[in-house]
Structures are given as C-alpha cells and as structure tokens.
C-alpha cells in the first residue's frame, strides 16, 4: 500500500510509534501527555485534537493480537500514518520552532500550506546551489572586488578561498564544477 503520499512512498508510522514506545511511554496517549508542550486543558483545541488522535491510535493498536498484526497496521493504515505524523510534526515544531519543517512532516497538507510542488531531490539541489551562490557573493563583497556578480578578479579570489577539493562557484557535493553547478541532474 505505501504511505499516504501514494504507493511506494515510505511509511513513517512504524518508526514514530517505536520512538514513542521506546521513550518509556505505555502508549501514545501516555507519550503525548508526557511530551506535549502546550496547555493541557479543555480550552486548547490543539491539545484536544491531538488527544483524540492519540486515543484512536491506541484503540487501533489494542485490537492487534500479535506483533505482525501491529506492524501491518502501522505500515498500511493511512489514518494511523496521518495521526502519528501530525503528532510528530507538532513535537518537532514545539522543539525547534520550525513551522516549515513541521508542515513538511505532515502526511496530508491542507490547502494554503506552503509546500513545494517539485520533488524533494530538486528542492534540495536548488537550495544547495542557492546557498553556495550566496556564500560566493558574500566572499566577493567581503574581498571588496566586483559588484553583485563579481568579475574575473573576484572569481580568482573565490577560487583561492574555496575549500580544498571543491571548486568555487557552486560545485557542491555533486562535484559538477565548471559552470557553477548549473548542469542537469545526474
């Protein structure tokens, strides 16, 4: 069946579930009660929502009569996957303050949530390229040479300042070199 993202997508539910249980919690509600950072009262809709999700997970897990049945539930039940990812995303957001990362963890994104349309590898590649280009521009500015894009002298200074084994201008981990990492995906 795969994860909620479709056939072949990985399911995070088994790992999230194991993490909750290996932390010493008896069940998901116990884990939530121990780790939820917000107010735990009737006036907090997020707490009530997460508590209801944890309760549904615990009830489904309680119906499993073997470890194999539990594993099958965790890898195949989209509802369990959605709820466990929701809880993991909330814990991540509370711990790091990273709302974008937390939204990316969700199994299902609501309309209006800023998520990327492009595949993850492409987003990672262009993010890395942008970071390297920004660092290069900052080095050029700091050296007092060139304008926004620098010039031949700035490029030579950049070559001298690049870490050993890495060409300047965006070669990055993939080692494309030459044209600043603008080549196609390998």
67-100 pLDDT, tens digit each: 999 999 999 999 999 999 999 999 999 989 988 8
pLDDT tens column, 145-162: 765 554 454 444 444 454
For residues 21-30, give the mean pLDDT.
93
When divided into structural domains, the chain yields a total of 2
Assess whether 184 and 121 both reside in one domain. Answer: yes
The helix-helix angle for 67-76 and 13-22 (nearest 10°) equals 130
Assess whether 22 and 99 both reside in one domain. Answer: yes
Assess whether 149 and 92 both reside in one domain. Answer: no
Assess whether 67 and 98 both reside in one domain. Answer: yes
Neighbours of 145 (CB within 10 A): 17
| Residue 177 placed within a domain | yes
| Residue 5 placed within a domain | no
Assess whether 180 and 152 both reside in one domain. Answer: yes
Tell which of 105, 134, 167 closes a domain. Answer: 105
- pTM for the structure as a whole: 0.60
Assess whether 99 and 126 both reside in one domain. Answer: no
Residues near 51 by beta carbon (within 8 Å), at least 6 away in sequence:
29, 32
Assess whether 186 and 165 both reside in one domain. Answer: yes
| Residue 81 placed within a domain | yes
Domain assignment of residue 25, given as a range? 13-105
Tell which of 74, 105, 136 closes a domain. Answer: 105
Residue 10 gets which letter from DSSP?
A: P
């Amino acid at each position: 069946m795969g994860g909620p993202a479709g056939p072949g997508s990985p399911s995070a539910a088994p790992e999230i579930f194991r993490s909750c249980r290996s932390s010493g919690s008896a069940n998901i509600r116990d884990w939530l009660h121990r780790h939820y950072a917000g107010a735990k009262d009737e006036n907090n809709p997020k707490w009530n929502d997460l508590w209801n999700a944890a309760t549904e997970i615990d009830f489904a897990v309680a119906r499993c009569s073997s470890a194999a049945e539990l594993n099958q539930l965790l890898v195949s039940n989209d509802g369990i996957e959605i709820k466990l990812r929701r809880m993991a995303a909330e814990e991540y957001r509370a711990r790091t303050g990273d709302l974008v990362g937390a939204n990316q963890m969700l199994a299902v994104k609501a309309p209006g949530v800023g998520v990327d349309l492009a595949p993850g590898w492409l987003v990672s590649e262009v993010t890395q390229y942008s970071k390297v280009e920004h660092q290069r521009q900052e080095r050029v500015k700091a050296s007092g040479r060139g304008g926004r894009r620098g010039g031949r002298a700035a490029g030579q200074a950049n070559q001298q300042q690049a870490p050993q084994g890495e060409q300047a201008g965006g070669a990055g981990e993939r080692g494309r070199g030459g044209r600043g990492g603008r080549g196609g995906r390998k």
